[in-house]
Structure 1
Amino acid sequence: MTLDILTFGCRLNTYESEVMRGLAATTVNTVIVNTCAVTAEAERQARQAIRKLARERPSARIVVTGCAAQIDPATWAALPNVHRVLGNADKLNPANWAPDAGSAVSDIMAARETAAHLVTEFASRARAFVQVQQGCDHRCTFCIIPFGRGPNRSVPIGAIADQVRTLVAAGYQEVVLTGVDIASYGPGLPGAPSLGQMIRRLLAAVPELARLRLSSIDPAAIDDDLWRLIAEEPRLMPHLHLSLQAGSDLILKRMRRRHNRAGAMDVVHRARTLRPGIALGADLIAGFPTETDALFNETLRFVQEAALPYLHVFPYSERPGTPAARMPAVPKPVRKDRAATLRAAGTVEAGRFFTAQIGRTVSLLTEAGQSGHSEHFAPVRLAHPATAGRLIAARVTGATPETLLAEAA
């Protein structure tokens, strides 16, 4: 056995896991566990995986990294068979994967620079992820991630273009730009380019890239260049996923978010005006401290009024050291019920969106088996298997609340 990687959490972690796969390629009998700290459940799953590894592969060296390890290294170092704990910066340092790199807890708060690493492959994935930004300067009251990722800093445009060019040469048709807060791209770089300016220059520099997609984006920080690209650039996919979190002004204020309900709804309307048919999604937290039934219903109505088909819903999870963890809590069963209600509302909206696609011909990026995703990031089930990683035209013949049904055109 050589090297295995278990990845928890966001697309940025997925990208960094592939960086580590290259850096640690010669490592023998090692499992890297790349953790997430967004929720207590994400941490629980990582701990459970480590204990299972210790039982099933007792001779393997376990290296723990990621945001949870960054925030509380001692706890992770104490788990069975953990050979080393690496901080988020250290895990991307080639020296830490040398045979004589040592063990125990690394200098967790070392190097904060965002270096560029060329990745050529994403294991078992049809699309590739590219880091454009790291860290966050905002302090939402529920979020622990700034403590795990540090301040906002950006990857230079030239390095992003080199990475995308490398991935396209390796056969990838679609690239997803990812980071902690991609809408904050640019400060600190020469000329302080905005996210939209970077994307425009990237697409010009890599004309052979077929499809570009964005990860979650703050609705308060979409710049004018990005709006123009949404309206005019066919290679930028018609799909926006908003870091919304709530649809209640009072809860948004207590979260210390930078948008309000009306501002978020304006983003929804503007996106649909500029790019008719665009697919919209949102991250939502159910049961944030002090959330009453009435305040929750404001968020539920937002989902229904905005007709959001793609929802990522999480019951609120206390993160020690954050201001929200000291606020009056909503009972956990209520959080769970509200999350289920929001997911059900999202399923209704997804069903409507998918039904409206019947009869259309979509551009499909094929994945394993008979699956794929359309330009709107709608999951698609093909009538017959297709080679993964190809762009094909497919005619939508039907829909369920979870997926489109299609045939190759």
Structure 2
Amino acid sequence: MKKVYIETMGCQMNKSDTERMLGMLSHFGYEETKEPKQADLLMINTCSIRQLSEDKAFSAIGTWGKWKKEALAAGENSKNRTNIKIGFCGCVAQQKANEIFKRAPYVDFVLGTHKIYALPEIIKKINNDERVCECTETNATEDNLAKEYNIERVKGVNAWIPITEGCNNFCTYCIVPYTRGRERSRLPEIIIKEAQDALNAGFKEITLLGQNVDSYGKDLGDGTYRLAQLLKDLNNLAGKFRIRFVTSYPTDITDELIQTAVELDKVCEYFHIPMQSGSSAVLKAMNRRYDRETYAKIVEKVRKMVPDVTITSDFIAGFPGETEEQFEETLTAIDEFELDYSNVAAYSPREKTVAAKWVDKYIPEDIKDIRFQRLNDKVKENCLKSNLKYVGRDMEVLVESFYEHKGKMINSGKTRNFKTVHIPCEKDLTGEFVNVKISGAKTWYLKGEII
């Protein structure tokens, strides 16, 4: 059986795409390997949000290209594979397309975000030594979407299910509308069937994905079937399982959605609400449709309506034109809104975006790096503060993995409100719901003992 290795970079949407590609490849006789040197097919699923991610992608395939050249040179006398294939996929592929062949001539195929469903046909072609680039932007029809998603899911605990693709917001720093296209919602019946199939296969958690998940359904029919109704329909599926949804655009979070999340027993107490900056002036420059005061009201409402909720966020350090005072506003926002965790990044100019043109406003790299580190330190401080609140409490954990650490066997999983818990236990409990007492707290996780 041939082996495939896929290196995945970036967001949950990319992880979902990888999961789907692995499912499609299984029908072509490929099994996944975690060791790239064992693979007949090497693929990288790229992220274009930041330049660093793009650079890492080209560095990785550069190494693979050397392996391919060495294997070809060794020929029949080699014990290694002599016909390694390399695929470059994801957002950078969608952005760069045929340019990738010029930069990396050893790549066999380039696959953009709009054509994942074409992977089986691509495999046929590269096995006949054709080079393929599938990166044209399409307004995907439901037929194509159905074809893309009707695949075998790789077994696991959490099933990532895209419900929207693309984004219409055009934040001045973000390349997503250019790589993922305009916002498109999948039909609810397709989503519900995919969720039911995942549950039938033993998955215990469904995570609904979208660059702006709360706008789901705006483009479907008369626009009345929205995320709240989808959650209700999914909640009605039989069995014990959890439901999450990410990512939420702040001003698209409605009272109806919050109340629905409270009332449905399978929907978890977790909201990921990116703020990006604590400064209203910077938010305006970013083309975010809210200010600090508006964000504060949204977070306050979610906390008031959803008991025990975890709220996480995203922030950018060193956005063009950001002053020291405006950066300080971001630090105070993390404290003021009691954010449990935040993803942080230093600003990275991306081709085609508006902010990339503001060269005269770029923050010097040394200052940007300092702000990034200060932001990280603030996030760590608040993570520990948040985790300490749970010491001594009894909580339900869905176990996601089982591994050895310093001579002890550990089960690791998540609470309903997305807290990671490490549980010492010799028995593999992956996929099971267990009740634990929280015995300790670290910056990034809780310690638990089975009750």
TM-score, normalised on structure 1? 0.95
The yes-or-no answer on 1:196 pairing with 2:228 is yes
Q: Confirm or deny that 1:156 pairs with 2:157.
A: no
Unaligned 5+ segments in structure 1 are none
Aligned match of 1:383: 424
Contact 2:165 / 2:185 at 8 angstroms: preserved in 1?
Answer: yes
| Distance across 1 between alignment mates of 2:122 and 2:450 | 45
The Cα RMSD (Å) is 1.8
| Mapped partners of 2:259, 2:228: distance in 1 | 8
2:340/2:382 contact within 8 Å kept: yes
**2:76 aligns to what?**
none
Structure 1 residue 95: Cα displacement? 5.1
Aligned to 2:306: 275
Q: Return 5+ residue gaps in structure 2 as ranges.
A: 31-39, 70-82, 403-409
Q: Which has the larger radius of gyration?
A: 2
CA distance in 1, matches of 2:438, 2:124: 52
| 1:12 matches 2:13 | yes
Residues 223-242 of structure 1 aligned to structure 2 (within 5 Å): 223-242=254-273
Q: Does 1:392 align with 2:434?
A: yes
Paired residues for 1:318-329 under 5 Å: 318-327=349-358, 328-329=361-362
8 Å contact kept, 1:309–1:347:
no
Residue-by-residue CA offset, 1:380-402 (whole Å, 9 max, x unaligned):
11122432121111110111122
In structure 2, C-alpha distance between the alignment counterparts of 1:211 and 1:100, rounded to whole Å: 40
* Count of equivalent residues: 407
Are residues 109 and 189 of structure 1, via their aligned partners in 2, closer, same or farther at CA, if it must alter by over 3 Å? same
The equivalences for 1:342-357 within 5 A come to 342-357=375-390
Which of residues 390, 400, 409 is equivalent to 1:367? 400
CA contact (8 A) 2:258 2:306 kept: no
Q: For residues 121 and 112 of structure 1, what CA distance do their matches in structure 2 show?
A: 21
Alignment partner, residue 54 of structure 1 = 65
Secondary structure at the counterpart of residue 253 of structure 1 = helix
Q: Is the 8 A contact 1:142 1:324 kept in 2?
A: yes
Q: CA deviation at 1:230?
A: 2.7
Change (3 A) 1:73 1:283: same
The 8 Å contact of residues 420 and 446 in structure 2, kept in 1 or not, is answered as yes
Are the structure 2 counterparts of residues 209 and 256 from structure 1 closer, same or farther at C-alpha, using a change threshold of 3 Å?
A: farther
Please give the secondary structure, in 2, of the residue aligned with 1:250.
helix
1:74 pairs with 2:95: no
Q: Give, in angstroms, the shift of residue 188 of structure 1.
A: 2.4
Q: Answer yes or no: is the 8 Å Cα contact 2:42–2:87 preserved in 1.
A: yes
Percent identity, please. 27
Deviation at 1:258, TM superposition (A): 1.1
CA distance in 2, matches of 1:37, 1:5: 17
Displacement of 1:219 in angstroms is: 0.8
Offset of residue 316 of structure 1: 0.4
> 2:374 matched to 1:341?
yes
* Distance (Å, rounded) in 2 between the aligned partners of 1:340 and 1:96: 45
Instruction: Report what 2:450 is aligned to.
Output: 408
* Equivalent residue letter for 1:22: G
Alpha-carbon distance between aligned partners in 2 of 1:320 and 1:27, rounded to the nearest angstrom: 38
In the alignment, the residues of structure 1 paired with residue 105 and residue 433 of structure 2 have an alpha-carbon distance, to the nearest angstrom, of: 45
Q: TM-score, normalised by structure 2?
A: 0.86
Q: What is the CA–CA distance in structure 1 between the aligned matches of 2:449 and 2:68, rounded to whole Å?
A: 44
CA contact (8 A) 1:122 1:128 kept: no
Deviations 1:35-79 (A, max 9, x none): 111111111111111111122344411111111110111332231
Closer, same or farther: CA 319–241 of 1 in aligned 2, 3 Å: same
Which deviations, in whole Å up to 9, do the C-alpha atoms of 1:212-252 show, x marking residues without a partner?
A: 01122111101233111232223111111112111110000
Question: Is the 2:344–2:372 contact (alpha carbons within 8 Å) kept by the matching residues of 1?
Answer: yes
Residue equivalent to 2:78: none
| Displacement of 1:359 | 1.1
Q: Amino acid of the residue matched to residue 331 of structure 1? A: P
* More divergent stretch after superposition (48-57 vs 393-402): 48-57
